[in-house]
């Protein structure tokens, strides 16, 4: 039966499609998207398309079929994810899918920072559904930081994480893990704590960017209210700013995004991508 990937035109979704196509025929892969026009390149590779929106329960009724394996990639709309994800879970259950995998957050129920709330609620909804599941508890993407390198080169690295470590990995690493869990055997009713092999502090991150760029860049640790003002001044939505600041203060600084289980490298069968490699790629533009 088919492997169905929701949110397939997103940054992670596209990479998961790539990884799946390296493992199974395109005829066994289905992409669920909101806009078929944005998925024309995916369809051109022979992948099936289904149109559905997390916020439209009626559209989700036709998104899945009995016996399929579904990957629910978490949505990005702050304040909307719990009802959206629950609608997907309900539709998957009603369709009689064989298994649902979900991209949650590192730590699962033990993660007590704000960002984790929606993920924990989604995992509980899946458990309550009675569906066979696989929880892919993703750590922080390295690209969350390297995407900001142009700003960092001008203003340095600023945060409120103290000396806490980030066990990050690339989206490609996480996508590969998802593809393995979707296509392999023995992943039923398991939860994987996915993080990079070599955690780093924000000071170490700044030092790596400085080393490779030849610029003087340092990490400045600031109080939460100062970071809030900086991010708000940069034009980020208030609700999103609160989540990002809390990740630093309640997550990273307390070691909750450090990881260390080794699940990610074991799943993908190789070491996770080193920080230096991702920084180098970002500096090349």
Each residue's pLDDT tens digit, 225-248: 999 999 999 999 998 999 999 999
CA-wise closest residue to 9 among 80, 69, 76, 57: 76
Percent of the chain with pLDDT over 70: 100
pLDDT value, residue 33: 97
Q: How many CB atoms lie within 10 A of CB 38?
A: 12
Residue 1: pLDDT band by 50, 70, 90 thresholds?
confident
pLDDT digits (tens, 9 = 90+) for 111-122: 999 999 999 999
Query: How confident is the model over 167-191, as a mean pLDDT?
Result: 98
Distance CA(147)–CA(127), nearest Å, equals 35
Per-domain boundaries in the chain: 3-137+171-193+261-268
Distance CA(193)–CA(62), nearest Å, equals 31
- Give the angle subtended at the CA of 227 by the CAs of 272 and 207, to the nearest 5°: 40
pLDDT value, residue 189: 98
Output phi, psi for 49, to 5 deg: -120, 140
**Do the Cβ atoms of 170 and 178 come closer than 8 Å?**
no
- Check pLDDT > 90 for residue 215: yes
DSSP code string of 226-273: HHHHHHHHTT--HHHHHHHHHIIIIIGGGTTT-----HHHHHHTSPPP
Q: What is the pTM of this model?
A: 0.97
pLDDT value, residue 63: 97
Paired tokens of 113 = 């920072």
Q: What is the CA radius of gyration of the chain?
A: 19
Output phi, psi for 104, to 5 deg: -95, -145
What CATH number has the domain spanning 3-137+171-193+261-268?
Answer: 3.40.50.720
- Check pLDDT > 90 for residue 77: no
pLDDT digits (tens, 9 = 90+) for 249-280: 999 999 999 999 999 999 999 999 999 999 99
């Amino acid at each position: 039966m088919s492997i169905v990937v929701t949110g397939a035109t997103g940054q992670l979704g596209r990479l998961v499609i790539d990884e799946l196509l390296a493992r199974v025929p395109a005829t066994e892969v289905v992409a669920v998207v909101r806009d078929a026009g944005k998925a024309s390149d995916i369809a051109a590779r022979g992948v099936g398309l289904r149109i559905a929106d997390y916020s439209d329960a009626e559209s989700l009724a036709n998104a899945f079929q009995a016996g399929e394996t579904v990957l629910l990639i978490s949505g990005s709309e702050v304040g909307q994810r719990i009802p959206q994800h629950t609608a997907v879970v309900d539709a998957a259950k009603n369709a009689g899918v064989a298994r649902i995998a979900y991209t949650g957050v590192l730590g699962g129920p033990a993660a007590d920072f704000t960002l984790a709330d929606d993920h924990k609620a989604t995992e509980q909804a899946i458990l309550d559904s009675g569906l066979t599941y696989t929880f892919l508890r993703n750590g922080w993407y390295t690209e969350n930081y390297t995407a900001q390198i142009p700003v960092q080169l001008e203003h340095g690295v600023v945060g409120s994480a103290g000396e806490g470590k980030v066990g990050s990995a690339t989206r490609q690493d996480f996508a590969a893990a998802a593809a393995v869990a979707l296509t392999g055997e023995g992943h039923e009713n398991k939860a994987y704590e996915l993080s990079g092999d070599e955690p780093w502090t924000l000071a170490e991150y700044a030092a790596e960017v400085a080393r490779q760029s030849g610029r003087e860049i340092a990490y400045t640790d600031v109080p939460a209210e100062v970071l809030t003002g900086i991010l708000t001044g940069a034009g980020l939505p208030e609700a999103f700013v609160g989540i990002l600041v809390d990740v630093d203060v309640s997550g990273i600084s307390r070691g909750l995004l450090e990881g260390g289980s080794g699940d990610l490298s074991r799943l993908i069968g190789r070491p996770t991508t080193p920080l230096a490699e991702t920084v180098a790629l970002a500096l090349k533009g």
